[in-house]
Structure 1
Amino acid sequence: MLTETAYAKINLALHVRRRREDGYHELETLFAFVDQGDRLSVRSASQDTLSTTGEFASGIEDPFGNIVAKALAALPHGQGWAVDLEKQLPVAAGLGGGSADAGAVFRLVEQAHGLPEDWMARASRLGADVPACVRSQACIGTGTGTDLTDVDNDLAGTPVLLVNPRLPLPTGPVFKAWDGIDRGAMPVGPLRTVALDGRNDLEAPAISLCPQIADILHVLREGDPILARMSGSGATCFALYESASDRNEAAAKLARDHGGWWLMAGALR
């Protein structure tokens, strides 16, 4: 049996530059990954199967049309795999949960058989976040997010807290609510500089659709983190802290005062 973590993806910065003629948006984003997420395990079988467990398993309406099944179908991996997916990340949450799961499948296939040379093209066809999620290392994404470049990761090991109001927020309506204003390019530099000097252009449209995001950000910023921001198209927000004790103190307060919110504590990879 092989096991792999599907590391939660966060966008430390997300600049939307323009809407393209093909309907997609031109983006500049700073990907980072948390050392926590869904868990996948695989074992040999006569054919591919997928079973889901965990708190958010019910959010996967069609397991056989799920991106995990599509990732399996996209890669040579022998006769068959029985995949168990423990779904710990909320669905439609701005954490790339499905993309992270697909990325974990790619890494599992890499362990067992190696990846084909065109693996990045295969990953891109599954979703814009999937190529970054395959490696699950901090990087800069441009274009639709699939053109990746390295970045100096000076935030590795930084304690992070993820918070979601337990409300799904599909990506499409958030992009549709974007006001179309280009607010400028993402800054350059190491991870910390880009994160602190960057922004998330989808934060305002996401709040217009899910006001609870503003409540989460307000509470997180009261704890004086290094940075608190929404991830991706929401509704999950994150906060970075100088120490694990600061993060744990913030998490304990949130759990006490806002017991309905979903929390996950970890560190940046």
Structure 2
Amino acid sequence: MAVDVGGVYERLAGVGLEYGPVFRGVRAAWRRGDEVFAEVALAEEERAEAGRFGLHPALLDAALHMAGVGPDGEETGPARLPFAWTGVSLYATGATALRVRLSPSGAEGISVLVADADGVPVASVDSLVGRPVVAEQLTASPQVARDSLFTVEWDRVPSEDMPGVASQAQWAIVGSDDLGLTAALDAAGHNVISCPELATLAGSPDVVLVPCVSESGPGAQDLSSATRHLAHRVLGVVQGWLAEERFAGSRLVVVTRGAVAAVLGEDVPDVAAAAVWGLVRS
């Protein structure tokens, strides 16, 4: 039995599922008992992109659009979003049009079989279980997305309030002190020692600072080389630190300047040092 698909996307919008032009791929549909058959295709302007995917996401999404539509083209229940996939197989890539068969699988799932326009199998899903969703949940999502965007805010912390660092702690600086940390710590009354490399550091200071500044000036390396050099150096320090049991009670601090924006609109001149942030976090 043929199913009227002329207003399928208007009806889906009525239950909260609004699809843009690229995702409106249903071209025709039929029902045979509990089975649904459909033909779906990519919009003309998207077909050149099909080869970039195993199965174009808009085409895969369109293959499921008739799952909840009855013989008269009306929705048979609340909107359901894909939730649990079982037994997914991909047999061919680059399809721009599909023939789809949707049939019941278990108490709540459907099985999906898709082939290309010539009937060659493209993909199959043993069971796809959807989760019901009401229109109010979907229409509220843009506001939720705006409310859930977070940014980093930096607060100045007085040195005496630094957690885990006593006022009489011993500080060590490893490498060239290009950031003037020694003078700042001396002025604050802290006990500071210096050494060129971590391997030559005596004892187990409470805090070990590693100044991290990329080279600048006429003789400096290009940006890519400076980034590699700085990241390689810090990686060696971190690996050496982790290998030394004597540092188990100490704290390692990699110090940069101009590598991240601490306040809105602040410039980030040391791009090479910015890469170090990602390295240490990972």
After TM superposition, the score normalised by the length of structure 1 is 0.22
Higher relative contact order (CA 8 A, sep 6+): 1
Q: Rg: which structure is higher? A: 2
* TM-score, normalising length: structure 2: 0.21
